[in-house]
Each structure stands twice: as structure tokens, then as C-alpha cells.
Structure 1
């Protein structure tokens, strides 16, 4: 024992009065060999499959391929799950992936109720989470998590950009056709509050069941209101159906303007420019904006025969930023997200972008208008940018967030 004590003293290690029994030797660091696993949890066949679905899986795979398929010398695997727009199914898949599947990050998640349910699981388990398609702002407000990022848009930015820019363009009276679910109600209220605060008026609102095929009674009420703006607080196939029927009922011909609060490029493609012309919506990305956006989008198109929505471009950017974080800080969820917050994003999607302490990605947003058929010169040439809204004007100021995270 004396020999051991002398050896330790010569090496500069202090030994307490109680002897070697109190000395804790460092444990050997675990060498990880299993793959880095990314789970795309999305809507594969339901009303939101065009904004998430197979396109989100491809965007994730493209990000993995472009980084070389490995990080920290670990192969990267991408797995998929269909949450069927049901919170219990989404949370169940997430928990199973974490408990038995060795998942490191969960991605995408259209349907805000699913996203909130999954975030409870990933917060508890410390798993990195990147929301690309979930809109509800509470994900980075009162329900924020140290391991989550909301990357593309939220209900506040949609309301703020769409309402203020539309009112600036003369649309000062509004009528809402609202999906009768949580995010529809939340979105309609948020936009209504912004309209009123900006000097506009709300002339009425009706609630439509999720998945309805007949909007006639709701559109007749909107038409009778004579509101300058008829806003659809819905998404996916509901938005496509409501805008198509609004054209058939003559709302646009009668001088009313249509606003989709969660409208996407794929919706315009499904509607056709003739049916959607003049509609306004907010987006974080347009494929035809410049050479960089076109270059990435054409690669995506080559594998899908479709141009990407902002959700797909944003998810690619978010996954790329996350993989860089894993390379720099390791695969532990909180460490990776902390690195993502500390480092600026600068790519074809964000120029630049930054992630706040609350997990909100801050970047410029755009109010766009659907072109007339005579203005569309080539395939997928559907939109013109009406107004650019800087990041600081688009999202809720970070100082006003109810998120209690300090970093």
C-alpha cells in the first residue's frame, strides 16, 4: 500500500486521508459502433402526405447522402413511420423507436397534435427532434423542449406575414373558413387578432369538419359577407377542395381574394394555376427563387417528378445542420441541439438562419401570389413573390416567448 501511495504522489495525484478507497478512477469511454438512426415520422397516405410523406423521407435521405452517409465514422440509417395523424399512434411509434430501436433523432411530423404528443416523449427521453411540417407555435413557446427545433414555419409567422402583407395590399376585411380542429381554431384566432391589430376587420367565421368534401354552405356564407379576403384556416386536401369550390362558386370572379393559411406549392400543382390564380399564402422557400434554390430543387425533382415544398427544403436544411452538430458535438440529443443553436445556418434555404434558445428557426419569410395562367411560362412556374418579410418581422420576438429555456 505504501508503494502504491508513493507512486501516486510522485505522479501528482492527491490521495485523501482515507486512502485509496476514496479514489475514483475514470471509467473507459464507451466506443459507439451502432449506426446513427434518423426516424422520419410523417403522414404517408393521409391529407398531409404531400407536404410531408415520401417527400420528407427523400429530403432526409438527400441530406444523409450529401454528407457522405456517415458521421463520426458511424453509418447513418433512415427509417420511416406513418403516424396516421393520430397523437397516440405517433407517440407510440416514437416511444418504441427510442426504447427498442436505438433512434437518435425524430423528424418531420405534420399534424400539430401529433407533434405535441411526440415532443412530450422526446423531451422525457432526451432525443433530438426537428419539426418541419408541424405548425402550432406552442412547440417553441410554452411547450418548448431543450431537444427540439421547429424549423420551417409556425402559426404566428403565418398569421403575421399573411395578415399584415395582405392588409398592406388592400385586403382589410376578412372572413374565415376554419378547419374544426385544434390547429385550425388556433390559426384562425391568431390571424384574426393580427388583422384587427393591423386595422382590419373580421366579418365572420365558420367551422368546417376535417376531411369534408362539400364546402358549399361555408362558401356561400363567405360570399354573402362580401369580405375582401376569404381565408382558409385548413391544410392539405381540405385546402385544395375549398379553394377549388370557391372558384366554382364565383368568389374570385366576384372580386374576393383567397388566402390559404397553410397552402403549399404541391397544392397549387394539384389545383392547377387556373383554379388557384390570385391566391395568396406565406412560404419560407420557393424553388424558382434563384440559381441555388433551382439547383437543389432540380435534384429533388429528378427523383420525384415534383418540385419541393418549403417543408421538404427546410427538412433537408435542418437534417444537414443536425448532422453537422453530431459531427461536432456528438449524438446526444441535448448536445446536438445546443450546437445547432450556437451555429448559424447558411445554405440555399436560409441566408442566413439562426435557431433561438426556444428552438425556433428564424429566417426570412415570403408572401407569394399564384400567377395567372398567362404568366406561367414553364412547368412549376406558379408563384411570384409579393413581399419579403425579414426574420425579425416574421416570427414572435424571442424576448416575448413563454419558453423558459435559458440556452
Structure 2
């Protein structure tokens, strides 16, 4: 923990990060908007997430760094003043909504990025809709954001809980691992992830034999692990993330459960979680991710830049923040305005063009549709270079990774005629 806090204090970007105008390089943007075309003469983007608690390593101030890198790259294409604001919502919905309301009302923020906590996201979704502003989510798992509570103003850039659980559940149940026990975080994310898991299990012939919910930031998982052990389930699935997953998996090994008959599955795991628990603890764990820094030359190039700025490799949420900010800014430049409706139309009409999800597009429920990867943590002896913790087991194509629009309960899809 001390190492993480120390890292978070070194070379960090706090408050407002103001980028200066860069040279024009692409004809399509060479006649971009002047200050007069932009409200207040500046495009303001707010990055809000957990910057001091159990979810801070996976996004946190690293997401602010990613947004800054996106601004730097954008300003090689267009001359436009951009400011990045950042804030810590402390995983509290009331704090998060107060900050975002002030950003929209008083501070001239045009677009909010990241968020990272499902309960906070549901509150921000309502404010963005009311005030006709844009919010783009990265590590927000609840399917409500693009389901019953979807909004024209809220875009899901990274994943939802269905993306995260469907592929691995189908694969493992197909291998005979049909009984599951869940250890889950007791807030909107964890409860939604368990509900999605149980729905998929029922579809493929599996069965949930029990669930226990723990408080956010819990430190002692002993009683929960013993309940999982006594359930006799073939799979113990962890529906938590960040420090919660790291602590739970360390205690799983301390209890000797790693050598037992039950298989542990991390339904949501980030690169920083593996780094935090160590490969000896994490080895063999499987998870689904939308992005990994060591996939190809383009992802590795971004990872090097991020590492140089931050001292750690980027997670999938941080890469998604870069992509969302870059795509948003290009839309603003292309239309010459920060008008919400027009920018959203442009973002939907234009495929993503970056290392995160090349060619990805937004569908009617405002999910960015892209491939996912089923990955497994390597054995310590397999590690060839620092941070290269995953081996890709299989690619889950975009057409298989998402619940069909025909099953969507998003009012936007209904209005479009699903």
C-alpha cells in the first residue's frame, strides 16, 4: 500500500492540466474551430474516478495521464485550447454527482470521462442527461448504464458486466465446471455482475449455489472464503476488483485453497491487480479484458509513453480514457463546435481510429463495440519481460461479446426500432 501511495504522489497531474495549441497536420482538421466557435473559447474535459481508494490503481491518476496524452496527440492534428480537470469521487455517489454538477454548471466542462464506479456512474448519468452534457465511461460494469437507464448522453467505451462474464462462463461450463459460488462487492457493480452471471449460467446449463457480498474496501475475506469452500462449488468467482481482488486472492492462497479442487475465476481483473498480488498468487487466473498493452506494436508504443509518464504499464480503463478523449476531441474539431448533439452525432458516425479499438463504432445503446480477449495469468517462469503477465487464450469477436440489441431494454434501442 505504501508503495502504491508513493507512486501516486510522484509526477502526478492534479487540478487543471492545460495543453497548448499544436501544429496542424491533417487536412481534415486543418480548418478546425477557432476559439470563437467553442463555448468559453476552450474545450474542458473532466476526469473523475477513485484516486485514493481501492480502485485507484486501475484508473485513478493514471487515467488523467492517459487523457493528457490524448490531448497531446490531438494537438498534432488541430489547434485548439483544451483543459483537463480531475477529481476524486472517493467511491461516493453524492460526492461524485456534486463534483460533476459543478463542473457542468459552473466550470464549463463539456465532457466527463472515466468514472469507474457503477453507483457513482448511475448518478452522473442522470445529471448528464438533465444538463445535456456528455459522459464517457470506461471501467463501469453495471449493464444499467446502457440498459434501462441508458441515455443519449452516456457512452460506454470499455465494457459492461455481460462482456466480462459471458465468454468465460460459457467456456468453463462447457468444460464441466457447472456449479459456481460468488464472492462479490456489495454495491451496484458487484450485484449487477452476479445477476448477469446467474443469467448466463442458466442459459448454458450451469448453476449458482450461493453468493456472499462484502463491503467495498473490505480487508478480511476469511469467512467469505470458508463459505465458498463449504459450498462445494466447482468455481469460486470473484465479482470485485482492485485492492479487493488482490486481498481476497492473497487470502485464498493463505487458506490453501489455491491447491484445492475449486477453480478461482476473477470476473473482473486488471493488470495492476496481477502486479499487486504477485504472479505466484495470480498464476493461472483467467479473466476477460477489452485491451492489453502487449497485444501488438501500436499498444506497446502507447504503453511505453504511458510508462515513461507514470512508471507503470497502462490498464484497459486507462487506455479507454485515452481513446474516448481523443475521439471526442476529433469530433469537436471536425464539426467546429462543442455543441453536445452535434458532437455526439459525429462520434457515432465516425469509427474509432486508434490503438485501443481500431474500427470500433457506437451502436444504438451507446456501447462501443469491439473485440475482447480471454486471458490467463502466466506462470512466473513464463514471464519474458516486466508487466507481460497475460497470455491470450482466445479472442472474443465483437459479434459474440455483446448481448444482442434484440434483447436490449435500452429505450434508445426501442425508439430506433430494434
TM-score by length of 2: 0.87
User: Which residue in 2 is equivalent to 1:3?
Assistant: none
Alignment of 1:139 onto 2:130: no
User: Which residue in 1 is equivalent to 2:114?
Assistant: 108
Return the alpha-carbon distance in structure 2 between the equivalents of residues 165 and 310 of structure 1: 22
User: Which residue in 2 is equivalent to 1:39?
Assistant: 46
Q: CA offsets per residue over residues 7-38 of structure 1, 9 Å max, x none?
A: xxxxxxxxxxxxxxxxxxxxxxx654521101
Alignment of 1:397 onto 2:404: yes
Return the alpha-carbon distance in structure 2 between the equivalents of residues 67 and 168 of structure 1: 45
User: Could you tell me whether the CA contact under 8 Å between 1:69 and 1:76 is conserved in 2?
Assistant: no
User: Which residue in 1 is equivalent to 2:154?
Assistant: 148
User: Could you tell me whether the CA contact under 8 Å between 1:128 and 1:334 is conserved in 2?
Assistant: no
User: Could you tell me whether the CA contact under 8 Å between 2:91 and 2:120 is conserved in 1?
Assistant: yes
Q: CA offsets per residue over residues 236-290 of structure 1, 9 Å max, x none?
A: 2111111111111122211322111221110000001001111111100111111
Q: Secondary structure at the match of 2:259?
A: coil
Alignment of 1:163 onto 2:169: yes
Residue in structure 1 matching 2:310, options 294, 299, 304: 304
- 4+ runs deviating over 6 angstroms: none
Return the alpha-carbon distance in structure 2 between the equivalents of residues 195 and 153 of structure 1: 19
Return the alpha-carbon distance in structure 1 between the equivalents of residues 257 and 37 of structure 2: 64
Larger Rg: 1
**What value does the CA root-mean-square deviation take over the aligned residues?**
1.7
User: Which residue in 1 is equivalent to 2:32?
Assistant: none
User: Could you tell me whether the CA contact under 8 Å between 2:142 and 2:188 is conserved in 1?
Assistant: no
Return the alpha-carbon distance in structure 2 between the equivalents of residues 316 and 377 of structure 1: 27
Deviation for aligned residue 1:393: 1.1
Map 1:4-403 → 2, pairs under 5 A: 31-32=37-38, 34-68=41-75, 71=78, 73-329=79-335, 330-403=337-410
Count residues in correspondence: 378
Deviation for aligned residue 1:168: 3.5
The alpha-carbon distance between structure 1 residues 169 and 66, as it changes in their structure 2 partners (threshold 3 A), is farther
Return the alpha-carbon distance in structure 2 between the equivalents of residues 256 and 292 of structure 1: 38
User: Could you tell me whether the CA contact under 8 Å between 1:165 and 1:367 is conserved in 2?
Assistant: no
Q: Secondary structure at the match of 1:252?
A: helix
Return the alpha-carbon distance in structure 2 between the equivalents of residues 254 and 57 of structure 1: 41
Q: Secondary structure at the match of 2:365?
A: coil
TM-score by length of 1: 0.89
User: Could you tell me whether the CA contact under 8 Å between 2:47 and 2:87 is conserved in 1?
Assistant: yes
Return the alpha-carbon distance in structure 2 between the equivalents of residues 322 and 170 of structure 1: 44
Return the alpha-carbon distance in structure 2 between the equivalents of residues 348 and 169 of structure 1: 33
Deviation for aligned residue 1:347: 2.4
User: Which residue in 2 is equivalent to 1:26?
Assistant: none
Deviation for aligned residue 1:57: 0.3
User: Which residue in 2 is equivalent to 1:16?
Assistant: none
The alpha-carbon distance between structure 1 residues 319 and 209, as it changes in their structure 2 partners (threshold 3 A), is same
Deviation for aligned residue 1:302: 1.1
Q: CA offsets per residue over residues 204-255 of structure 1, 9 Å max, x none?
A: 2222222221111111121223322110111221111111111111222113
User: Could you tell me whether the CA contact under 8 Å between 1:343 and 1:354 is conserved in 2?
Assistant: yes
